[in-house]
Structure 1
Amino acid sequence: MNTLFLDAAFSKPTERPPVWMMRQAGRFMPEYWEIKNKYSFLEMCKTPELAADVTMLPVDLLGIDAAILFSDILVTAEAMGGDLSFTQGVGPRFANPVRSLADVDALEVDVLDKLQYVADAIKVIQQRLGGSIPLIGFAGAPFTVMSYLVEGASSKDFKTTKLLMHNHPEIAHKLLAKIAKVTAEYLNLQIAAGVNAVQIFDSWALALSWNDYQEFSHRYIQEIIANLNRKDIPVISFCKGSSVFAPVMAEAKPDVISVDWNADLLNIKNSLPAGIAVQGNLDPHILYADKPVIKKTILQLFERMRGTDGFIFNLGHGIMPDIPFDHVKYAIEVIKDFKY
């Protein structure tokens, strides 16, 4: 197996930074649309062969150093009882938002049987990978999943979620505790099925104040990580806002902290306890730019990180759907040509 990614995640020396990209199996690839135009998004997630087809696209077309399971952070919320749908151009919606104690009480926590399709997909993907590169599993962090359940959809200001947290913290905590329990069991299901690493996505943590992040996000991520069967499985913690929250994130003892593009990556690395690797942190908008700009910006980051063990190249967040495929492929070529 190409172990570059796993070595860097465990802060071992590597000959170059390993590369994978968030949303690497996505809408910027024509091949993705060939599949997407035939099936709904949830059908793709829930059909192991289709999930494997999409997972393998960046492996076959880009030559990345790690694959990531094709799924969605909201499958846990759906399994718990959320009426989930995805609409083109709108995104995810829950027809039954969670707003009251009764709504929270109605959510189920013994839901692993409903998520068995994810374990099945992992087994198919690992057969296809044939031990060539590691496979990353993932889940949404409790605060982010809660925000979708409470808002009923994506939100710009998270007003309903924050009102629940501030006016009825006991309801918010009961909801978060349920999501955290499901999330830990779900990630352990993925580990048992054969993933080689896991990432926790707290996509909307940046909406939170420092104190609210600690109370309504961090403590639940800490609980999840403490309950993982993580022997030989690196755990990556990502949030939008990691440039601010990294010192708190480190307290949960992940192996890797994935950093957004608002920070100097070396400064973050040097501020963390020894043995915690960093992942990131190219601004994905750079991939719209001309190729010489892409190359210059990547090499600047690599020179900044030269001599640092525990560095995985990634974007500060996911690839946007209209980034030219050719630019992504070029960026990966630049990375793979680099040597420390």
Structure 2
Amino acid sequence: MENSLFIRSAFSLPVERPPVWMMRQAGRFMKEYWEIKNKYSFLEMCKTPEIAADVTMLPVNLLDIDAAILFSDILVTGEAMGGDLSFTNGIGPRFANPVRTKADVDNLQTGVLDKLQYVADAIRVIRERLNGKIPLIGFAGAPFTVMSYLVEGGSSKDFKLTKLMLHNEPELAHRLLSKIAVVTADYLNLQIEAGVNAVQIFDSWAQALSWDDYREFSHYYIEQIISRLNRKDIPVISFCKGSSVFAPMMAEAAPDVISVDWNADLLTIKRQLPEGIAVQGNLDPHILYADKKVIKERILQLFERMRGQDGFIFNLGHGIMPDIPFDNVKYAVELIKEFSY
């Protein structure tokens, strides 16, 4: 994979054009996804290697992107540790047994790789299907984000219960986060051993935290995880909603790439980072709802801003929304692939 545009950019090496992939690229904006989803539950899709491979390959075959990302979910680690996880259309993920007491935390298991073997199996099937054409990205949820789902029992707008634990019972919060961090590092190493070519850590709800709380309850654990990865020739991408604020701190954990949300100027962020750390991003996904002339204008504007910069991977500031027109996504990818420095 040393000649891959994505891998070269992730390691801040020169490329002829920016590589492109998009968070949630194998998802609900494609009718082909729904043809599969209407036959199986979400967890069945994640846990059946052939189906996970089918979904992973959709954007490879339909969009011709420069990197595939494993089809799975950030909460499979929480489930493996003992969470009773379910997904309901229109509601999202739920844990029927929220983690809110010392006993709840103590009951969570950390030696759980056997329960995540289906992910390694899926990676092997996907690698076979990709046949060396493009890299495969593995991923995991960051400890704070996984913790928030476990504590809240599902999605939350204000993370009240999670923040109460951070502030009123910090020792309990650290005990929970430490357990999740151990599982997350083991899980990412499992993916690397199974054959992924890069890994991304998703801290989807980090923007809920203040600067000091982010350092203590998120960054500290991401730093631990990255330090434990078997990362030889495997770029590590760190993403959080809030990266436009937290990027300088995120760099302290020594990822190869920082994926930036759309609230900042990407070049300004890049210049704040140590030499050799690439950036990924950071188009506002809402742009993909707009007319094609607007999509073209905004993408070219970003590319002109980043002209001459090694270490730039095109992506969105967050994932594709389910009702974004497929044709607009395809147009964006084709436009990017025609670009050259």
TM category (shorter chain) comes to: over 0.9
Residue in 2 that maps onto 1:52: 53
Displacement of 1:283 after TM fit? Answer: 0.1
Deviation at 1:27, TM superposition (A): 0.1
Q: Distance in 2 between matches of 1:142 and 1:267?
A: 28
What displacement does 1:171 show? 0.4
Q: Distance in 2 between matches of 1:168 and 1:232?
A: 40
Gaps of 5+ in 2: none
For these two proteins, the number of residue pairs brought into alignment is 340
How do 1:207-246 residues align onto structure 2 when only pairs under 5 Å count? 207-246=208-247
Which whole-Å CA distance do the structure 2 matches of 1:98 and 1:154 have between them? 14
> Is residue 141 from structure 1 mapped to residue 142 from structure 2 by the alignment?
yes
1:247 Cα offset (Å):
0.5
Matched residue type, 1:226: S
Superposition map of 1:259-278 within 5 A: 259-278=260-279
Distance 2:292 2:224 in 1: 43
Identity of aligned residues (%): 83
Q: Residue 326 of structure 2 corresponds to which residue in structure 1?
A: 325
> How much does 1:299 deviate?
0.2
* Residue in 1 that maps onto 2:115: 114
Cα deviations by residue, 1:143-185 (Å, 9 ceiling, x for unpaired): 0000000000100000000001100000000000000000000
Cα distance between partner residues in 1 of 2:249 and 2:145: 17
- In the TM superposition, what whole-angstrom CA distance separates every residue of 1:210-246 from its partner, at most 9, and x where no partner exists? 0000000000000000000000000000000000000
1:4 counterpart residue number: 5
TM-score, structure 2 as length reference: 0.99
Aligned to 2:177: 176
- The whole-number CA distance in structure 2 between the counterparts of 1:327 and 1:165 is 41
Cα distance in structure 2, aligned partners of 1:315 and 1:100: 37
Alignment match, 1:200: 201
Alignment gaps of 5+ in structure 1: none
| Deviation, structure 1 residue 277 | 0.1
Distance in 1 (CA, whole Å) between partners of 2:6 and 2:291 is 28
Post-superposition shift, 1:131? Answer: 0.2
Alpha-carbon distance, 1:60 to partner: 0.1
> CA shift at 1:96, angstroms?
0.2
Q: CA deviation at 1:134?
A: 0.1
Match of 1:61 in 2: 62
Give the drift of 1:304.
Answer: 0.2
Distance 1:225 1:304 in 2: 30
Alpha-carbon distance in 2 for matches of 1:267, 1:125: 36
SS of aligned partner of 2:201: strand
Which residue of structure 2 aligns with residue 165 of structure 1? 166
Partner of 2:166, secondary structure, is helix
2:281 alignment partner AA? G
Structure 1 runs of 4+ off > 4 angstroms? none
| Corresponding letter in the other structure for 1:59 | V
SS in 1 for 2:145: helix
- The residue aligned with 2:156 is 155
CA distance in structure 1 between the partners assigned to 2:175 and 2:102 by the alignment: 8
Equivalent position amino acid for 1:138 in 2: F
Question: Counterpart in 2 of 1:315?
Answer: 316
Structure 1 position 188, deviation (Å): 0.1
CA distance in 2, matches of 1:226, 1:54: 31
Counterpart Cα distance in 1 of 2:106 and 2:171: 12
Letter in 2 for 1:297: R
SS state at 1:251 partner: helix
> How far apart in 2 are the matches of 1:79 and 1:332?
36
One-letter identity of the residue aligned with 1:254: P
Amino acid at match of 1:155: S
TM-fit CA distance, 1:202: 0.1
Task: State the 1:13 CA deviation.
Answer: 0.4
Does 1:43 find its partner at 2:44?
Answer: yes
Matched residues in 1 for 2:296 and 2:112: separation? 45
TM-score (norm 1): 1.00
Match of 2:328, SS state, is: helix
